[in-house]
Every structure is written in C-alpha cells, then in structure tokens.
A and B are shown apart, each in its own frame.
Chain A
Amino acid sequence: MVAYQHPAGLNPLQRFRQAGAILRGTSRAANSGWYQSALELDLQLHLRVDGNRLDSFLYDARSKQWSAGPAIQEEFATDLTLVPAFAAEVIACAQKTGTSAIGVVLHIADEFATSELKPELDNPGALAELRTTVENDPKAVLDDSSVSATESSWRLIPYPAAGSEAIATTVCISRHWSGFLDELRKIGEEKNFPLVTRAISAPLTCLLALPDLKTTELTRLLIAVLPYPRFTLLAFFNEHGDLRLLRTLQHRGQRRPTNLRHAASTTAAALELSDPEVFLFTIGEQADPQLAADLQLVFPAASIHGIDWSGTPYKLSSTGLGCPEPMIATALSITPDSPLASAHTFTVLRGDGWAVQDFIPVAKEASEVYPTRGEMKLLRSARYARLAFASVGLLALAWTMLQMVDMIRKPEWAFDAKDGKSQQQRLAFLATERARIDHWDNLLEDRSKAWASMELVGGLFPDNSGFLVKSFSHIIRTDSAPGQAKVGFVREWKITGLAREEALERLAILNTRDGMSAIFNGVATVTGNTSFRSDLPNRSLVVNVRTLENSGFRQGPIDELARLDESTYPFSFDLSIQQRFESADPMAVTSAKAP
C-alpha cells in the first residue's frame, strides 16, 4: 500500500499528485461508504463490551435482519496482530452480503465516568464551541487539570433542563480500543474496502430508549437507572422530561453499587426530587432484584418500573441480541410517538447526535491525509474537465491542421512571389510592346497617301463627264493642340477646272455634303483607304463649288479632239473640299514619341 503523506508537508503540485494517486489507487471517489457514518451504512457490525462479555452482531439495514458477527476477543485491544484475521473475516462477511462498505460500531459498556466543566464555562450559547473544544483540548474546559487526552476521550452531554446547575457535563471513556479500531481502518484502507468505525457509549445510547418505555403523559420527575456490570448510571429528568443530571456509581468489583441508596437519596435531595417515577433498565443479564428494593427504600412513594423489553420496539428475544443498545443505535431515525420523545433533551440527544458521539474517532492528522468527499468529487470533476479541455485542445489543433491543409492544398499557397513578379514584368513588357506597336500602327496609318488622293480625282471627275481639270492641290494642316495625346488634322483639296453644260449637274452634286460623302465612301471602298470614310463620328466634310462663266469660251461644234480645248468649255469652276479629323478619330496623330 502506498504510504500517503500529510498534505500539510507537500507543495501544491505534490498535493495534487497525491490526490490523483488516491483517486486512482482507492475507491474513495466511487464508494461513498468511505465518507459515511458507520451507523448510516447498509451493513453494520455491532461489537459490545461490558466487562463481562463481548458480543458481536451483524445488522443488514436493507433487510433489517440481525445475525451473529465474527467473534471479538478482549485480546484484540492489546494484541494488534490478531486484528488482521478478524478484519479479513469482517470484510468477507460484507462481501458475502454484496455491500461495498461496513460500519463497525463499538458499544462501550464497561466504563463511564463524568467530569464537570469549569464553572466559568456555564454559557448555554457556547455549547457548540465547547463540544468541539472538549474533543480536541479537554484540559481547556475540564475542571480537573490532571486529565490526559492521550489516554481518554471526553464528550460533552448537555443538561437542557431549565434550572440546572450546569449547562452540561462531560463523559469520559478510555482509549483502550483505539489501537484495535485504528488497525481495522488501516486494514480496510489496505484492502480498499471501507471499514468505518464508531465507538459510542452504550449507556448514552440506551438512554434514547426511555421515550419508548415511558409512553404516558409526563406528570412526575423521572429517574432512569441503567445497571451495567461495572457501574450503574443514574439519569435524573425534570417533570418536562429534560435531563438535569447524570451520575455514575462504580461497582468496584461488586455486583451492584454499594452506595446506591445513599447516592440516590442525596442526589434527589440536592435536586429537590420527590416521588419520582423510576425506570430500572434490564441490560444484559437478569436484573438484580436488590436494586429495585434499594430504590424503593429511597423513594417509598415512587413507582419503580422494571423494564421488560418484550413490550417495546426493541424485542431482544426476536433478534437474538442480549442487549438493547445495538437496536437502539440502528433506530435513531425513528422518533417514538410519546410525550417524552418530544422533550427537548431527547430531541437534541437523538437529532444532534449527542447520544451517539464517536469517542474514538479517526485521528485528525490521519483523516486529513485523504481528500474530503467534496474534494474527491472535485477531483473527479477535474478529471472530466481535463478530458474536456484536452478534447477542446485537440479539436482546436485538428481544426487548425485541417484549415492549414485546406490552405496548403490550394495553388495559391505554393505560389512564389517571384513568379508573380516575372508575370508582372512580362505583362509590362508586352504592354510596352503593344504600346510601341499601337504607336507605330497609328503613325503608319494610311491617313494621307498621294495615290489615294489621285484616285479621288477620278471619283470626282469621271472620264467624258464634261470636265477639264486644270490644277490640283492637296495639303494637310494639323490642329494646334499642345499637351494632347492625339492631334486632329484637316485635309484640304483645291481643284480648278472647266466644265461643259453636261457637267453642271455633276458639279451640283459635288457641291452637297451627301454627294461628296458618297464619292469619298466610294474612294474608300475602291482603295481600301479608310481615311476617306465619311460615316465615322469624329470626321466632317465641307465642300464648296464655285462656278463661273469661262471668258475664253467660243461657241462652236465640239468634237473628240476638242477635249483639251479650253474655249469649248463655257464654265469654269473652283472646287474646295475640307475633311476634318477630330483628335478622337482613330486616325488622329499620336503626339508622343515611340515608347
């Protein structure tokens, strides 16, 4: 078995690792039995020691059945080497019944002593604080300064009755069985099987049966007499059923206390009790009849009830038990329906657990080695949280990887900036080349060609149409447009000549824009020279024909040979054509130099 260290000596990381080791190495996270009270577990082993005999009973809370338990010996308290075999037997019994934990309840009935609190601590409001203090530092609250916390254990028992001289008393039990219980728990931890122990005072437990015994209305004071082999406990209650005093009479080797009559009478006198109702418990063996006689002498007017358990919920004969305490301890959750049960004393003794206080609990240092139930739950949650965080982390990584793979698979990822630069350079180079080509394409356009202009003459004046052309002048004038990318220009033709009668109609046609446009388009079609196209939006055509009488004209017959004879032409003409190309025209001249 791993030896766990006290967490106070560990750093935070070591504490966490130890908690993780406990989570993995023990069933503390899954088995709630580790953190339950012995009296809450489904299977309980009730051991009872009263000085004369040792009893062992198994109680199955699920079926409410009692059976004989593994035999306990007095030597177990002193010879711890005997304990493992006993513990193994206990665990085997538990496993046989299918339970995952067993509570070992030790009913200590062989000793009971009371000690008074320091008088200055009689503060009812500090009862809870006193309860804790008496467990951890009994010297601080007890009137007796010679007490030894290592040898004995003290527990507080309140006196709820109004008018009590003290708010509480303390019950002392030795730690005789401490080693046995520690060993049992240790073996349980080694076997990873919860062996939960609890050492309770049998007389205090037995007192809880009183409301089941006194079922009638409370009219008188009550005295409960609990005779055990080594001592007799006297419990005094007021007329409301509240505890006023616990007094122990040690037998000192006798069968019964020798001072019972004296003690009972002096205590009754001190508490001003008269004609009480006395309940004489029968615990274990048959009741000593002398006890009842002695009490009757002290309280002649009192009614003394000898307890017959057969008439109560604790029928010992039906269970095989020889003592009532185990049955009473397992029935704490059942509140009897009697006036005494509703008394404040019994309410707190049962409800607040005063009657079943653990006199030999696990040492604080030992219990602190293990995480609490809440911490185990937290640790278990942390395990799931780590899984969740790890899953989220893995998902995030997977998501990132998938996104990366998705990106890497695209051609853009492998794209080299150098390739982009070379493409850009190639585009720039081609753009420059295109610009150069466009530049030369523009400059070398057929915008002004001599042969095409000569073809225009043929278009204007067809053969044998009655014209004699005397001069032809063609000139190009460019626009003045500094700073513009393209510059428009004007082509101008000036033609002079002579005309006969039959040519006048032709001259009239030439003098119209439509007529001239038709001729230009005809030239464009014949020559393939698009500069003569007049149907483009950025071109305009202006025509002017001036016809005059030929002063040298002589009337006479006209023959073929007279074609060049100017005197045979009655008219002279002067034709002026202007064709304008705007700067937006495709044939406008690029002003920049070649790139």
Chain B
Amino acid sequence: MFYRQSIVLFGFVLPFVVCAAIVGGGVAFKAKAAASFQQKQALYKSSETNRIGALGIEAQVSKKRPHVERWISQIEKETANSITSHLKEIGDLLPAKEFQQTAFERPTGATGFASVSAQNSSQVKLAFRGTFRSMQKAFIELETRMPQLQLQDLKIDPSSSSTSTLNFQVTYTAWEK
C-alpha cells in the first residue's frame, strides 16, 4: 500500500484541482469578459440610442437650420437701424401720401413681452400717418422682414387733417441676441 496515497494525490486530487482551476478560470474569465461586454453593450445601446436620437433631431433641425441662420443674422443687426432701413425701403414702395412716418422713439425699460423673458430685447415706438390699407401693407412688409418684432400695442385714430388718412401709434418689442 505504498502507492495508494500517491495515486490518490496525483491521479485524482491534482487533476481535479487542475481541472477545477481550468473550469473556474474559464468561468471567471468568461464572467469578467461578460461583465465587460455588458458594459460595452450598455454603452453601445446608449450610443445607438444617441445616434438614432441625433438622426431624429438632425432631421428636425436640418429643416429649420436655414431659417434659423437667417433669423440669427437678422437678430444680430441693430434693431433701430434695421427698422429705419426697412421702413425706408417700404416707403419707397408705397405712395407718399398714404404712408408717412411721423415719429420714432426708443423707450427705455422693459414692458410687455420683454418684462417676462430673459431674452435680450429692445422696444421701439413708431408713429405713422397713412391710409388703412397702405399701413397694413407696410406693417406686413416690416413684420415679415423683421420677424423679431412683437407688437406690444397699436392705436389707430382718425387724422384731424385729412379724412382719408389715419394716425397710427405702434410699439414693438424687438428680440435681440
């Protein structure tokens, strides 16, 4: 019985230990790789979600991007100068008797829309004398060219000097960058 212990040790125990080490090592290695893989999967999934989300946003944004660029370029200009130049151009398109600018003010302080938004803005108060339709044309032209203008108030009164013209007082809040 000199060999029994050696046979049990090297024939069973040691191979079992080696086998267990290989199996355990394999399982541990796989578990570690799986954990890393799961992490990568999560990142990949998140990245895919981001990619798909970005594609969706890109589709939305790309349609508006040209307009926004135009808006921004418009907003970046000084409001008073823009209004003045646009009104001059508009005045050239309309009969002089039907469209006359009578006042241009830049009141200080923020009222109306400007008072509730943190966005930079300025206010412009304008006065005109003109016919109803010509003034409406002028307003539609001005407000189309400068979409940042938000009407704050508008008063229309009969002109005392002429029955065919009216007095217009208008105050705008102009959004600025």
Residues of A within 8 A of B (CB): 7-8, 12-13, 15-16, 18-19, 368, 371-372, 374-375, 378-379, 381-383, 385-386, 389-390, 392-393, 396-397, 399-400, 403-404, 407, 410-413, 415, 417, 419-420, 423-424, 426-427, 430-431, 433-434, 436-437, 439-441, 443-444, 446-451, 453-455, 457, 470-481, 487, 489, 564, 589-594
Contact = CB atoms under 8 A, between A and B. Distances in A.
Given A383-B11, A419-B47, A476-B153, A440 B113 contact: no
A476 B6 contact: no
Nearest to A391: B19
A114 to B, nearest CB: 34
B23 A411 contact: no
A413 B115 CA distance: 54
A129 B27 CA distance: 56
Interface in B148-164: 148, 150-158, 163
A473 B11 contact: no
Contact of B37 (A413, A441, A474): A413
B95 interface: no
Contacts of A372: 1, 3
Interface string B62-74: 0011001001100
The secondary-structure label for the interface of chain B is: helix
B93 interface: no
23 contacts: A382-B8, A382-B12, A390-B19, A393-B18, A393-B19, A400-B27, A404-B30, A407-B37, A417-B43, A427-B53, A440-B75, A444-B175, A448-B151, A454-B156, A472-B154, A472-B155, A474-B151, A474-B155, A475-B153, A476-B113, A476-B153, A592-B118, A593-B119
B50 A389 contact: no
Interface in B26-70: 26-27, 29-30, 33-34, 37, 40-41, 43-47, 50-51, 53-54, 57-58, 60-61, 64-65, 68
A386 B11 contact: yes
B1 A375 contact: yes
Contacts of A447: 150
B131 to A, nearest CB: 11
A390 B21 CA distance: 12
B71 A420 contact: no
A431 B46 CA distance: 16
The 10 closest A-B pairs by CB, nearest first: A382-B11, A7-B2, A400-B26, A389-B19, A451-B140, A472-B156, A420-B47, A451-B139, A393-B22, A15-B6
B154 A450 contact: yes
A585 B98 CA distance: 38
Contact of A450 (B68, B75, B139): B139
Given A389-B19, A589-B113, A448 B1 contact: no
Contacts of A471: 155-158
Contact of A427 (B57, B137, B170): B57
A454 B136 contact: yes
Contacts of A400: 26-27, 29-30
B61 A433 contact: yes
B104 interface: no
A392 B23 CA distance: 8
A38 to B, nearest CB: 23
A187 to B, nearest CB: 24
Contact of B7 (A19, A368, A475): A19
Contacts of A450: 136, 139, 143, 151, 154, 170
A379 B175 contact: no
B40 A413 contact: yes
Contact of B117 (A448, A454, A591): A591
